[in-house]
Amino acid sequence: MSGFVGVVVSDQWLHSQFTQVELRGLHANFVSASNDSGKATLGNLPPVMCKLKALKDILSADDISRILSESATDATEEIDFESFLRLYLDLQGRATAKLGNTKLKTSSSFLKARTTTIRHNISESEKASYVAHINSFLREDKFLKDFLPIDPSDNALFELVKGGVVLCKLINVAVPGTIDERAINTKKVLNPWETNENHTLCLNSAKAIGCTVVNIGTQDLVEARPHLVVGLISQIIKIQLLADLNLKKTPQLVELVEDSKDVEELLGLAPEKVLLKWMNFHLKKAGYKKQVNNFSSDLKDGEAYAHLLNALAPEHGTTNTLDTKDPTERANLIIEQAEKLDCKRYVTPQDIVEGSPNLNLAFVAQIFQHRNGLSVDTKKISFAEMMEDDAQTSREERCFRLWINSLGTDTYINNLFDSVRTGWVLLEVLDKIAPGSVNWKQATKPPIKMPFRKVENCNQVIRIGKELNFSLVNVAGNDIVQGNKKLILAFLWQLMRFTMLQLLKNLRFHAQGKEITDADILNWANKKVKSAGRKSQIDSFKDKSLSNGMFFLELLSAVEPRVVNWSVVTKGETDEDRKLNATYTISVARKLGCSIFLLPEDIIEVNQKMILTLTASIMYWSLQHKADTPETIPEEDIAASDESPAAPSDGENASS
């Protein structure tokens, strides 16, 4: 295990927002403003904050004082270091907004545009569009029918969000089956505990479908902070609308590439990039001379829309849309024409003219869903199907991709195997989980033109992996550059496992306990279930008895008795019952507070690696909530390794 120890932040998400270098610098500044008790008063912070790199010359001490007074009127209020970090993130967002938010405007991926406190003013047009979406897709829901339709002109949306149910239901619309609805608290009147459970389930499930929820917590949803709520809803809806923008769901997309060798490049594109490629494909065929590179300024005049709709739906085609010179009038005609295709109105004429990027993207995605205009080339489609991975590889790719994106790294990845080949993403991950381990002076940031620079990055990845005691026999950086899927998955598993064990170790940091091992986790789980009076016990994380889900439900009930509703649990004797239990297990774990990315199939098939991640996540939650501080965790809660059953193997020697 690595000896890297830096500034430790107990909140995993908060820790993930900073490199260790940043944490050390921020901690030094916090200490300079703190008193003997180790806390700082709000009144002392502005002079310190305004000198920080991200805020210097953008926000003055007076600006910061004014911002801090918005949330706290008492300048003598004391805060700890973690609160200081949260304030810094908020101020950093304000500073970015003051500069015009250039970085987010030029972002190529809507998912990279994180749900943060950067913009506090919401777009009423976006809000109205998302409300219409919710009213349409959830109108038949038995629980929500008493609250729908929502009036977009008032705060009804935010009041409804406070209970947590509507966001959970919306996630299930976007990616069906993500949340087992038996785990949602749906009473008419919820107590604070039940409300918090719903929001915890929502945020962990949002991460599990690909949303980036940095800078947002359950309290933000309890308070229904408008900019955060709209930002989260925007991501969920976009994931739904872009769900078919991949070769697996729409193999006809291979028509967009001229040569079969370009299919791999298409596989690596972000969904909105695929949507632009699709749009330009049809525009070129229609004789439109311009290239559409974004969903804002390039669509303002409406000409691209007019050509696209005429090409896709010639039966509704008209020259009037192109003949008119007034952009607003043209936008009106575009919407009228789109409605003939039964497209929902995500945009108003004003949204088109003003170039609203989120609503234009939603509108184009809706057109794609209703009429993609692609032919069926069986030769190309069969080739695209050959590119698909086997089921387990696809699930592991999904798990590691979502896990990486949840860490809050600067790079958002859409295709795991394509994204890691430069080594940069892996270095970003390593910097998060082993702070100070990366020598950034020896790293090259993409785009990288010289192949040897990619190899240099990946060689550093392998070197750090060996320092962390990963099993990397006969593995070289070039294996990653070449996209060896088996080795990449094996390396990422060891990264994820290292992170889990480090989190567990940090809980016992001041107790000077032994290193946590797989055997410790196994022993803890068995002891926990037994102490609750249950009989289930497992021999390893490969134990076939795990497939019915009962052991995990008993473990979850042991750490928090009220979290499992046993009346909805099946005996797990049939395939269907096992699937129901596995789905319920995952939702209950997320509802409890576990950030996990496995699928029900991983439990049913007893995927050793995913089973370990689930058990470790439950253990981490339990130990976090058992004591107020790491020092008070009883040593007997985790048996020493030499008293435990034989540890299951890591399962993956990267060289095998």
CB atoms within 10 A of CB 350: 11
Share of the chain above pLDDT 70, in %: 84
Give 543-560 pLDDT, tens digit per residue: 999 999 999 999 999 999
How confident is the model at residue 411, as a pLDDT? 85
For residue 451, give the amino acid letter: P
Please tell me the distance from the alpha carbon of residue 154 to that of residue 151, in angstroms, as a whole number: 6
- Given a contact cutoff of 8 angstroms between Cβ atoms, the answer to whether 195 and 219 are in contact is no
How confident is the model at residue 576, as a pLDDT? 96
Q: How confident is the model at residue 56 (pLDDT cuts 50, 70, 90)?
A: confident
Query: CA nearest 114: which of 127, 100, 104?
Result: 104
Least confident of 11-20, 23-32, 430-439: 11-20
SS3 159: helix
Separation in Å, CA 453 to CA 29, 106, 448, 491? 36, 25, 7, 20
Query: CA nearest 487: which of 518, 447, 458?
Result: 458
Please tell me the distance from the alpha carbon of residue 308 to that of residue 348, in angstroms, as a whole number: 18
- Given a contact cutoff of 8 angstroms between Cβ atoms, the answer to whether 49 and 32 are in contact is no
Separation in Å, CA 382 to CA 236, 252, 264, 278, 616? 31, 10, 14, 20, 41
CB atoms within 10 A of CB 114: 20
- Given a contact cutoff of 8 angstroms between Cβ atoms, the answer to whether 135 and 148 are in contact is yes
Where is pLDDT greater, at 36 or 411?
411
Give 427-476 pLDDT, tens digit per residue: 999 998 888 899 999 999 998 989 999 999 999 999 999 999 999 988 99
Structure token digits, residue 131: 């409300």
Query: CA nearest 90: which of 47, 121, 120?
Result: 120
Least confident of 187-191, 328-332, 342-346, 594-598: 342-346
Structure token digits, residue 272: 């909105």
How confident is the model at residue 385, as a pLDDT? 54
How large is the average pLDDT for residues 414-427?
92
How confident is the model at residue 248, as a pLDDT? 82
- Given a contact cutoff of 8 angstroms between Cβ atoms, the answer to whether 448 and 454 are in contact is yes
Least confident of 103-112, 270-279, 397-406, 411-420: 103-112
Give 199-223 pLDDT, tens digit per residue: 999 999 999 999 988 778 888 899 8
pLDDT(34) > 50: yes
Q: In the predicted model, what is the mean pLDDT of the chain?
A: 84
| Partners of 78 in beta bridges | 41
Please tell me the distance from the alpha carbon of residue 416 to that of residue 266, in angstroms, as a whole number: 13
Give 240-264 pLDDT, tens digit per residue: 999 999 888 888 898 888 766 677 7
- Given a contact cutoff of 8 angstroms between Cβ atoms, the answer to whether 491 and 654 are in contact is yes
For residue 328, give the amino acid letter: T
How confident is the model at residue 85, as a pLDDT? 87
Give 629-643 pLDDT, tens digit per residue: 333 344 455 443 333
How confident is the model at residue 513, as a pLDDT? 56
How confident is the model at residue 377, as a pLDDT? 61
- Given a contact cutoff of 8 angstroms between Cβ atoms, the answer to whether 230 and 127 are in contact is yes
Where is pLDDT greater, at 133 or 78?
133
Please tell me the distance from the alpha carbon of residue 434 to that of residue 608, in angstroms, as a whole number: 24
- Given a contact cutoff of 8 angstroms between Cβ atoms, the answer to whether 202 and 217 are in contact is no
Least confident of 57-61, 229-233, 456-460: 57-61
For residue 38, give the amino acid letter: G
How large is the average pLDDT for residues 21-33?
81
How confident is the model at residue 546, as a pLDDT? 96
How confident is the model at residue 92, as a pLDDT? 80
How large is the average pLDDT for residues 324-352?
89
| Partners of 79 in beta bridges | 40
Share of the chain above pLDDT 90, in %: 54
Query: CA nearest 239: which of 192, 207, 269?
Result: 207
How confident is the model at residue 654, as a pLDDT? 47
Which of 22-31, 402-411, 492-501, 646-655 has the highest average model confidence (pLDDT)? Answer: 492-501
Give 173-204 pLDDT, tens digit per residue: 999 999 999 999 998 888 999 999 999 999 99
- Given a contact cutoff of 8 angstroms between Cβ atoms, the answer to whether 286 and 308 are in contact is yes
Structure token digits, residue 51: 């000198």
Query: CA nearest 412: which of 252, 562, 217, 213?
Result: 213
Query: CA nearest 242: which of 137, 399, 127, 369?
Result: 369
The pair phi, psi for residue 343, each rounded to 5°, is: -80, 135
Separation in Å, CA 211 to CA 9, 229, 239? 23, 13, 8
Please tell me the distance from the alpha carbon of residue 273 to that of residue 591, in angstroms, as a whole number: 34
How confident is the model at residue 378, as a pLDDT? 56
DSSP state of 252: G
How confident is the model at residue 66, as a pLDDT? 80
Where is pLDDT greater, at 113 or 146?
146
CB atoms within 10 A of CB 140: 9
Query: CA nearest 401: which of 495, 276, 502?
Result: 495
Q: Are strands 78-79 and 40-41 parallel, antiparallel or unpaired?
A: antiparallel
pLDDT(524) > 50: yes
The pair phi, psi for residue 40, each rounded to 5°, is: -120, 145
pLDDT(22) > 60: yes
Phi-psi region at 287: left, alpha or beta (left = phi > 0; alpha = psi -120 to 50): left
For residue 555, give the amino acid letter: L
Q: Can you state the angle between helices 303-312 and 271-285, rounded to 10 degrees?
A: 80
